[in-house]
Amino acid sequence: MSEWVTVAGRDELQPGQQKTVDVDGVPVVVINLDGRHYAIEDICSHDGARLDGGCIEGEEIVCPRHGAHFSIKTGAALSAPAFEPIATFPVRIHAGVIQVKDDRWD
């Protein structure tokens, strides 16, 4: 059973900001999108680049290496050269902090 991992204080990430954290050995980007937090795997499904620092355009993040777009909400690949989705993770606000967990193998 996976555990919740603390990412940041509740108000640390402002809308449009992102932060990369290690969640049980998996790099995860947590993004504040218009006041709601989302978490996606920090590995592009095209060629393994880090998405950390990628531009946020609306509800999409752009891979810095070749420009593939991914949905921040669902992880879906929205443009070439990526065709496979990236993982998304549950996020919660608990006791004043933002937490994420990798529940893929629970």
Under the rule (CB under 6 A), what is the footprint of ligand FES?
Answer: 44, 46-47, 49, 63, 65-68, 81-82
Given the complex with ligand FES, which of 42 and 102 has the nearer CB atom?
42
Phi-psi region of 31 (alpha: psi -120 to 50; beta: other; left: phi over 0): beta
Token duo for residue 74 = 């669902």
In the complex, minimum distance from the CB of residue 12 to ligand FES, in angstroms, rounded to a whole number: 27
Is residue 104 within 8 Å of residue 8, measured between CB atoms? no
By C-beta, is 33 or 44 nearer to ligand FES?
Answer: 44
The residue among 8 and 65 lying less far from ligand FES, judged by its C-beta, is: 65
Q: CA 100 to CA 46: how far, in whole Å?
A: 24
